[in-house]
Amino acid sequence: MKFIINSLLFSKQIQSISGVITNNNTVPIINCFLFHLDENLLTIRATDLETTLVTKIEVESGRLEGLSDIAVPSKLLIDILKSLDDVPLTFSVDDATYGINITSGEGKYRLAGKNPETFPNMPEVRETEVLTVPSGALINAISKTSFAASTDEMRPQMGGIYCDITPENTTFVATDAHKLVRYRRTDIHSDNPTSFILPRKPITMLRNILAAQKEEMDVTVEYNNTNAFFTFENFYIICRLVDGKYPNYDAAIPKDNPNKLTVDRNSFLNTLRRVGLFANQASHQVRLSIQERELVVSAEDLEFSNDASEKLPCQYEGEPMEIGFNAKFLTEMVSNIESEQILIEMSHPSRAGIIFPITEEENSPENILMLVMPVMLAN
């Protein structure tokens, strides 16, 4: 195998799929990329056994004389490419020893490759349902939900994004029991209803790769009982679905919330960021004191004698109330809303608050609801 490729293009494609390779692999071969050369098309694959990322690059010239596949050490290759200028690279592989020679101008480098036959096979695409999803819609769905997923390894189902596909819409949900996001799209649907849980790590990588593309594109999404497959441009991503049943998130959303607070999103967000600096570093508690036309956001840390408060104009329907929230959770949620104003619906200081964007856009294909559990206030 021998080919010539541009170093910058090569480095960009390599790094886009390298995130799937972890440092604590117990199987040495998956610390490598698998290269496959077919005439002038180089296919590069990376996997952690649960998720597989594939990208394809056209090389400037390619020649097969023996091996068409080789396993290449990922870390050493990435480190080499990071330090190179925009130059042509020549790769040649020794069929007998799996040695990889890289030539770059005056530089010559030799890597110890591995037998490609030991590299894991890709899951087969069988008995799948197929959806075509605009990349922008998929980026929004992942960005607006993934931050709310649990990081508790003891609850793997809550560590992913739940997808509920119906003939009317598709709902994406993430929760860690303290916060919850429900993001719904009416422009994504299927005649065959189904639901599954997507793991957060590959979905985050999918979002990052899509966001790096210059243009909006269609993403082909295939899924069966065990895997989800995403195809777009020169990329192909396979991830194993999370086993188990997702909790009944709908039961956690309060239905009767008579107290309604409307406030400017940017002003509220900036106030939370400032006042939150003075909150207790264990609870991150901020207090919202709400009256008809005034919202007071306050925090204190008795241990260090720190406190802060700010007043904001607002519109409020309901009985005056005080309610406490985790400032970090509230900041995350408000920063993932794009409207100029937000609506927070509440029923009691001990029950969850529900956050909605206030938008003037009619017939929008997206609908978002965010839930945050309160923090009990000290007297």
So what's the pLDDT on residue 157?
93
The reply to whether 194 and 263 lie within a common domain is no
Whether residue 221 is contained in a domain is answered as: yes
What are 161's strand-pairing partners? 198
The reply to whether 311 and 280 lie within a common domain is yes
The reply to whether 114 and 140 lie within a common domain is no
pLDDT tens digit at each of 379 positions of the chain: 899 999 999 999 999 999 999 877 778 899 999 999 998 899 999 999 999 999 999 998 877 777 899 999 999 999 999 988 889 999 999 999 999 999 998 899 999 999 999 999 998 888 889 999 999 999 999 999 999 999 998 899 999 999 999 999 999 999 999 999 999 999 999 999 999 999 999 999 999 999 999 899 999 999 999 999 999 999 999 999 999 999 999 999 999 999 999 999 999 999 999 999 999 999 999 999 999 899 999 999 988 999 999 999 999 999 999 999 999 999 999 999 999 999 999 999 999 999 999 986 778 899 999 999 999 887 6
* DSSP annotation string for 319-372: S-EEEEEEHHHHHHHHHT--SSEEEEEES-TTS-EEEEEE---TT-SEEEEEEE
The reply to whether 84 and 177 lie within a common domain is no
Going by C-alpha positions, the residue among 375, 265, 370, 270 that lies closest to residue 323 is 375
What are 236's strand-pairing partners? 54, 231
The reply to whether 309 and 233 lie within a common domain is no
So what's the pLDDT on residue 379?
61
Residue holding tokens 């200028």?
Answer: 85
The reply to whether 235 and 317 lie within a common domain is no
So what's the pLDDT on residue 27?
87
Going by C-alpha positions, the residue among 80, 36, 67, 39 that lies closest to residue 54 is 36
Number of domains comprising the chain: 3
The reply to whether 149 and 41 lie within a common domain is no
The reply to whether 140 and 35 lie within a common domain is no
Going by C-alpha positions, the residue among 313, 270, 267, 273 that lies closest to residue 290 is 313
Q: Could you tell me the residue range of the domain that residue 279 belongs to?
A: 253-372
Task: Label each residue of 99-118 as H, E or C.
Answer: EEEEEECCEEEEEECECHHH
CA dihedral 130, 135, 138, 139 (to 10 degrees): 160
Q: CA-CA distances (angstroms) from residue 94 to 91, 110, 125, 151, 246?
A: 10, 11, 33, 44, 50
The alpha carbon of residue 279 and the mean position of all alpha carbons in its chain are separated, in whole angstroms, by 28
Domain holding 136: CATH number?
3.10.150.10
Does the pTM exceed 0.75? yes
Q: Counting Cβ atoms within 10 Å, is residue 90 exposed (0-12), middle (13-18) or buried (19+)?
A: middle
